[in-house]
Amino acid sequence: MTAPEAGRGIGNGERATEITTTFVGLPRDSFRILHVSTGNVCRSPITERLTRHYVKQRLGILGGGLIVESAGTWGHEGAPMEANAEAVLADFGADASGFVGRELLDEHVIRADLVLTATRDHRQQVISMGHSAGLRTFTLKEFTRLVRAIDTATLPPLEDGVVLRARALVRAAAALRGWLLAPTAEADEVYDPYGAPLTFFRSIGDEIHQAVDPVVTALTGVSART
């Protein structure tokens, strides 16, 4: 098992040099967020690239130890992002270039510090892969709901590093999961826009934006610019 990449965050289509070392007993200087949907051409690419975009807006850099990527449970390996997904990202000023679809593999789950899925079914599929993924796997909307309930003043300050803060955020969210349930089962779902018109893609993009924005604010300790 190797440590995640250090340095700047990367997305699909970009790979950084990895540092080979053992996880056990050693600090890690990166935090990997994995977004998961079905085909990895619509929802998870939008979520991945919006996350990267908002991190860069908050911190002025892409990274600070955060690595953001995505994959699909039935991923279209090597496929480009759907054109409507690219249009949604353009609406938010986010970069869609260089994206390449991937099928979800064991190694992706093993290396992830936080897995955010589009639906409950995706979450269950990730957890069923094993690798002690249960405490670090949430649906995107579930994680947002939990993050909103966390007093971010209790998290390590950004001066201590975004990686340390991110790890603490995940632990706090996992501790709240059994106490803060969704009002309905559908509340934690981001529905699949594959094959739908641009108007529906944009509605899904708005849902993803509303879920990702407070998560990045909590991760970085910096609110969105108005």
Confidence of residue 65 (pLDDT cuts 50, 70, 90): confident
pLDDT tens digits, one per residue of 129-140: 999 999 999 999
pLDDT tens digits, one per residue of 166-200: 999 999 999 998 887 878 878 999 999 999 999 99
Q: Identity (one letter) of the amino acid at 208?
A: I
| Dist. CA 30–CA 137, nearest whole Å | 18
Helices 83-91 and 43-59 cross at an angle (nearest 10°) of 20
Output the pTM of the full model: 0.86
Tokens 């850099």 — which residue? 61
- Strands, E assignment, 10-167: 31-37, 66-72, 114-117, 137-139
